Amino acid sequence: MSSRPAPLAMGESRFRLIARIMKVVLGFVGLFALGSAIAPEPYSEVLGQMAVASLIAAPLLRVLWMSIRWIRRGDYKYSAVALGVFTLALIGFLLG
């Protein structure tokens, strides 16, 4: 096992960045959902749509972020897997 590649340092700054971004998105989703529950029409509808849109966008952006990160590290195989997942999600929307 001594020749194994170095593990990703999950606690280092680049993963902290995506963790922070996820925290911020989570805060916005919560605010949009709360706003939708208490605001009058038509604001509640718009805020509700923003909550759902943020919830859809967050994991897909994380996938895209991973793909770009792996391309930079030369890990093309798993970068292609990530891009495949992203593309399939968009195809699903188009087929729906």
Partner 1 sequence: MPAVWVLILLSLGCALLGALGGIGGASLMVPTLLILDVDPLLAAPLGMLLVGAGSLAAASRQLEEGLVHHRLGLSVELLATVGTITGALLSTRIDPVWLARLLGLAAMAGALAAVGRKGIRNLPQRIFDNDHAGEWPGTLAGTYSLGGSAVPYQAKRVPAGLGVAVGAGVVAGLSGVGGGFLKTPAMSEVMKVPVKVAAATSTFASGITAATGLLIYTAQDRIEVESAAVVVLGALVGGALGARLQTVLNAVTVRRTTGVLLAVISIIVLVRSL
> Rounded to whole angstroms, how far apart are CA atoms 5 and 30?
39
| 12, 13, 40, 72: residue in contact with partner 1 (rule CB under 8 A) | 12
Of 16, 90, 85, 27, the C-alpha closest to 54 is: 27
Phi and psi at residue 4, in whole multiples of 5°? -65, 155
Within 18-37, the residues that bind partner 1 by CB under 8 A are: 18-20, 22-23, 25-26, 29-30, 32-34, 36-37
Of 30, 85, 36, 34, the C-alpha closest to 55 is: 30
Q: Which residues bind partner 1 (CB under 8 A)?
A: 1, 4-12, 15-16, 18-20, 22-23, 25-26, 29-30, 32-34, 36-37, 44-45, 47-49, 51-52, 55-60, 62-63, 66, 70, 73, 75, 77-78, 81-82, 84-85, 88-96
